[in-house]
Amino acid sequence: MSELRQIKRRIKSVDNISKVTHAMQLVAASRMRRAQDNAMRGKSYTHKIKEMMVRLSANKNVKGNAFIEPEYADNVSGTMLVVFSPERGLAGALPGNLTRYVLKLIESIEKDGSVSVITVGKKVRDLLARRGVNIIADFSDMPEQPTTADVRPLLKLVEEGYTAREFGEVLIVLPQFVNAMTQIPVTRVLLPLDLDAVLKYDDSLNVEDSGGAADFIFEPNIESIFAELIPGYLETQIYQARLETVASEYSARMVAMKNATTNAKDVRSYLSLEYNKSRQAQITRELAEISAGRMGKG
């Protein structure tokens, strides 16, 4: 009898878990659609503005701009890594895959210089901190749809560190949103705006004709144009990285909770079968005892 009670308790527990995971699946699915729309809406724009900036940076008439001149970062071996990650758990293998990717990237970069990490998102931040990674700042309170005011503190830290020659390059690491089933950890170059540096990671950029930038006519002058373009470029890259990370997080959580709900139903079916078997065996034993008792009396 105790075995039957134990199986019934397990069935009830699985039912409760199934209800929770199903509710989380529905919530993640509803938020995922909105996050996907936001991420896909700005993806083409962010990609194009980066291509444009790389093309324009090939203009040799631009002088004294630290963000464009690759020589400015010469003999500076430090790298700043801005890591975007999920805010919470229950997102399947996404946080673990992203953490392993970041650790491997850090290991490869440290062969040539130091690495300082800035995190946007609590989950990977906590995992990296446990591994002893040097995290110099955290912006995990950034909203899912950040404004200029939300992004500005992070950009200020990046700009000041780069212009002060504390870092020779600034890289963004994020879970790139491909579709609801696929999120791939990728590295994107934020600074410097140099063709060779950018193509080291961003091989999808169409910048083959970047040499033609020298033929452009800039009004009023090239310096003032870049002074306006560069802050906008940096802001859009951070903004898009945040949107893609949010879309990846909700997609991964939706899939994980769907799998958990399916597994819970499978476990319940198995436990129900075990309960019926145990119940049948108990009834058979009781009938056998009754029959044996009657035979003894006869």
Q: Is the pLDDT of residue 48 over 60?
A: yes
The pTM for the full model equals 0.80
Measured distance CA(81)–CA(98) in Å, rounded:
13
What is the per-residue pLDDT for 59? 64
DSSP states of 177-210: EEETTEEEEEEEEEE---HHHHHTT-TT---TTG
pLDDT in tens, 26-42: 888 888 888 888 888 87
In the chain, how long is the greatest CA-to-CA distance?
116
What is the per-residue pLDDT for 191? 84
How confident is residue 296, by pLDDT bands cut at 50, 70 and 90? low
**H-state helical runs in 58-185:** 94-109, 122-130, 148-163
What is the per-residue pLDDT for 215? 59
Q: Is the pLDDT of residue 69 over 80?
A: no
What is the per-residue pLDDT for 57? 73
| Segment 15-21 mean pLDDT | 87
pLDDT in tens, 82-127: 999 998 888 888 888 999 999 999 988 888 788 889 999 888 888 8
- CB contact at 8 A, 89 and 123: yes
CA-based nearest residue to 173, from 186, 155, 183: 186
Measured distance CA(74)–CA(273) in Å, rounded:
69
CA-based nearest residue to 192, from 159, 218, 147: 159
249 CB-contact burial (10 Å; exposed 0-12 / middle 13-18 / buried 19+): buried
Measure CA 296 to chain center: 73
What is the per-residue pLDDT for 74? 63
What is the per-residue pLDDT for 103? 92
pLDDT in tens, 178-227: 887 888 899 988 888 777 777 777 656 665 544 444 456 767 777 777 77
More confident residue, 216 or 267: 267
Which of 61-65, 73-77, 114-118, 131-135 is the least confident region?
61-65
More confident residue, 281 or 297: 281
Rg, C-alpha atoms of the chain: 28
| Segment 78-85 mean pLDDT | 90
Q: Is the pLDDT of residue 172 over 90?
A: yes
Domains delineated in the chain? 2-23+255-297 (1.10.287.80), 43-253 (3.40.1380.10)
CA-based nearest residue to 178, from 83, 43, 87: 43
Beta strand 135-138 with 169-179 is unpaired
Residue 17, C-beta contacts closer than 8 angstroms, at least 6 positions apart? 260, 264
